Amino acid sequence: MQHTNLNQYDKLSKVFHWITAIAVAIAFVLGPGDFGRLLHNGIDPGTRIDIVWHESLGVTIFTLTLLRLVWATVRPVAPRPQMTAWMRFLSQLVHLVLWVLLFALPITALLALGTEGHPLTLLGGFRINELPFIANAHLSGLADWGDVHKFLGDVIMWLAGIHALAAVYHHVKLKDGVLKSMLP
């Protein structure tokens, strides 16, 4: 039998959660109003430290989320504090949508870069000038992925904000240990 503390997420789940939350917040703040315009005007993103950081954080989030998904299938059971059925449903729905967004953000970004022929530029001078695999994909023509990406960026911040408020509400009003279950 594996020993688990039923009131707490395991350590690795907490590490994934908090690194991701911080990285998403910074990536969002760095995603300045006119990334898209700069790129369309032919600015080389490799010369813009904010874009390089944004893309590096985004790729890191993508990698972490993939690893986290693998971990979520094998980790000790997540805590299940007592709550009403509708509250459990709502919280699981929000978690699910957050998970989907953590994948959808990097994917829409790569689709946008590939479709528009912009390079992927990361810290350390790493650079991929073209993503022909993406540029030629059928999916690429189906939307303005840059716009979709921007929209999803706003959605994840709103949802994460509501999710954080809910956690504080659990702590202050319901006193049910939900917030503590994810704290170090």
Binding residue for ligand HEM, selected from 2, 33, 138, 172, defined by CB under 6 A: 33
Return the C-alpha torsion angle 21, 90, 13, 6, nearest 10: 140
- Classify 125 in phi/psi space as left (phi over 0), alpha (psi -120 to 50) or beta: left
SS3 content of the chain, % helix, strand, coil (to 5): 75, 0, 25
Q: Residue 27, interface with ligand HEM (CB under 6 A)?
A: yes
Binding to ligand HEM (CB under 6 A) within 87-116 occurs at 91, 95, 98-99, 102, 105-106, 109-110, 112-113
Binding-site ranges for ligand HEM (CB under 6 A): 13, 17, 20-21, 24-25, 27-28, 31, 33-36, 39, 54-55, 58-59, 61-62, 72, 78-79, 91, 95, 98-99, 102, 105-106, 109-110, 112-113, 120, 146, 149-150, 153, 156, 160, 163-164, 167-168, 178-179, 181-182
